[in-house]
Amino acid sequence: MDIKVATRELPNGVHLAEVQGEIDVYTSPKVKESVSELIEKGHYNLVISLEGVRYIDSTGLGVLIGALKKVREHNGSIGLICTNPQIKKIFNITGLVKIFGIYKSEEEAVKSLV
Amino acid sequence: MNRQNGDNRVQITTPNKPEYVGVVRLAVAGIASRMRFDYETIEDLKLAVAEAFTIAMKGTNAGSLIDVECEIGMENLSIAVRNTQGLLSAATDELGIFLIRALMDEVEIQETPRLGSRVVMKKYLNYAKR
């Protein structure tokens, strides 16, 4: 079971983390490490793309919540890109849809952060 | 799959290691698929069993095992998850338990003198829903 996280810089100082694979108790440490690395480098406005994510559980949600807490301490924010209905359902059930901005595209997510 | 007697049982025992959560998830998806649960329900079952596996993993020593017992009934799939030390951190893992309760039709944290505690959850086939 593989998880891949690719990061790159977007316009206006926003940074993108593109996650691909399944985020569970086994793979979430890798996601946490990659996102934490961005935050430690001082990038507090992040877009995390879940477009390549086929599955996420509570440990994955925990990583996203932890990252949001950290960037908010520096007046930053996180926009999520997600169109998979099954993943969106998890955000709805848990109420996280009210905490995270969830967008359909990179452009929309970046726009929300700047 | 013969479900006439309603007594088909599949038991999976894995090491208490996170890399096995995917194995359990896929096994449950396979069972649910053969029972003709729809795609969305299979996804819900995968998540619920993975959450129970994660709860069972926490707070136990390496070297213990996780038992996942699927009982294939006429109208439902019942899944029981426990670790061999009989300890569950369900009370402290609120998000995991919350998700299981939201996705499954019936959920119980059972305390048994012999086996310790375990998460038991049930999902009914659509036609059997009350």
CB-CB under 8 Å, B99 with A93? yes
B50 vs A: CB within 8 A: yes
pLDDT tens digits, A54-113: 999 999 999 999 999 999 999 999 999 999 999 999 999 999 999 999 999 999 999 998
Strand spans (E) along B1-130: 8-15, 65-72, 76-83, 106-112, 116-124
Instruction: Give the tens place of pLDDT for each residue, A21-50.
Output: 999 999 999 999 999 999 999 999 999 999
Option in B22, B54, B98 nearest A59 (CB): B54
By Cβ distance, the residue of A25, A61, A86 closest to B43 is A86
Q: For position B2, what pLDDT does the model report?
A: 46
Q: Determine how many CB atoms are found less than 10 A away from the CB of residue B46.
A: 25
Instruction: Using an 8 Å CB-CB cutoff, list chain A residues near B54.
Output: 24-25, 57-59
pLDDT over 50 (residue A4)? yes
Of B26, B41, B112, B24, which is closest to residue B76 (Cα–Cα)?
A: B41
What tens digit of pLDDT does each residue of B19-66 get? Answer: 999 999 999 999 999 999 999 999 999 999 999 999 888 867 777 899
How many CB atoms are located within 10 Å of the residue A47 CB? 23
pTM beyond cutoff 0.95: no
pLDDT of residue B63: 78
Residues near B100 by beta carbon (within 8 Å), at least 6 away in sequence: B48, B51, B52, B107, B119, B121
Measured between alpha carbons, how far is A53 from A39 in angstroms, rounded to an integer?
21
Strands A77-81 and A45-56: parallel
Give which of A22, A23, A24, A99 to mutate to test B binding, by max B Cβ within 10 Å: A24
Q: Is the pLDDT of residue B91 over 60?
A: no
Rounded alpha-carbon distances, angstroms, from residue A19 to A51, A69, B98? 7, 19, 25
Residues of B in contact with A99 (CB under 8 A): none
Q: What is the pLDDT of residue B92?
A: 53
CB spacing of B54 vs A26 below 8 angstroms: no
Q: What are phi and psi of A4, to 5 degrees?
A: -125, 135
Structure tokens at A87: 């993943």
Q: Percent of chain B having pLDDT more than 90?
A: 64
**Structure confidence at residue B130 as a pLDDT band (50, 70, 90):** low
Residue (of B67, B14, B24) closest to B45 by Cα position: B24
| CB neighbour list of residue A113: distance below 8 Å, 6 or more residues apart | A12, A14, A45, A46, A47, A77, A79
